[in-house]
Structure 1
Amino acid sequence: MVVTIPTGVKAEGNLKVSYVPTIAVVTAPTTVEVNAAGSLDISFFLTAGNFKPSGEQARGDDRRVGSKQTFEVLGREKSSIDDLIYIADPQAAAAAPGNKAMEIFQQNVAGFLVVRYGLDAETVDFAAAQKVDVWPIIFGAQNKVPLDENDEFAKIRIVQAVAVTGIVRKQIALT
């Protein structure tokens, strides 16, 4: 057998996260939808280490009368995203570019988080054939994060729960 040692893709700077209000067909999102005027690239709003999509799957026992061993079966999946923590300016003028996340992500606003891994978040726009994960979500209440007295460089941030409201589609090619 040939041994393969993959080079891997650097993670830092290669994660793009966008809020998209509407996707007509979640199994076939389009670049037009992801790049639409109502969409918002939040890759640089989110604070480092605070975008954590995850999932778990139930595991149960499958016991048989004639077996001395207990087997396992897989059950339901649960996808979730930890609370978002992002930069905000509570005193900014309405529609200020640096405050769009706080303005758009009002409680009970629904939409999608479209997440792309492996390409530069700053210089590479969403394009056809790129693979993305599509997370249907709804926003919870916004809460301002108090100053961390141990971090003199901390910015004012918002912490906000998001709930996953439907099936998460992974590795879907943009059309």
Structure 2
Amino acid sequence: KLRQSKTDIVPHTTTHLSFFSKLYFPNRIYQYFTDQSTNKEIDPNNQKEKLKEVLEILEDAPRNPPLMDFITIKSTLPGFVSYRLVDKDKNGQVQEYLGSSFIQALCETLSEEYFEKKEKGRKHMELEGLLRSVQLKINEVSERIDWWQTMQWEACLRKYIRFRECKAKDINVEFRN
């Protein structure tokens, strides 16, 4: 007999689902369709019906995206706000909105990495390393203004991503409001 140490569940030895359920189903689903909350035997007929029901539920479950490489970046954790930095005059009146601390830190990090460090043959930092640097800058701002913010990012990348310098020259970029 197999035994799961944490739950003390003993699968029925003649059941073809015991091994499968130990590998692929979370404990709650496993207990649901096997009626096992303690060490008791399983009714195979009842199990088949419950398994059909569970498999129908799992059929509707969302699948992994078809794309292999993706990254999501959010300025803050779910349920929290992203602070917007402001420039104030001597009287404390807002003069200008500078954008979120996340966007400011991201722009500053990219500028430092790609415009200020121009050593020949130097490998630039990969994307996830850049994001770690962005969080460090957000931490510096958070400490200064005493409003804490943590960015959230999730990466499923097969390779390191590094940006390259643009080969084109004499390109004028104009920003408009």
Q: Please confirm whether the aligned pair reaches a TM-score higher than 0.5, indicating the same fold.
A: no
Normalized per residue, which structure has more strand? 1
Bin for the TM-score computed over the shorter chain:
under 0.3
Higher RCO, 1 or 2 (CA under 8 Å, sep at least 6)? 1
Normalized per residue, which structure has more helix? 2
**What TM-score results when the alignment is normalised by the length of structure 2?**
0.21
Structure number with larger C-alpha Rg: 2
**What TM-score results when the alignment is normalised by the length of structure 1?**
0.21
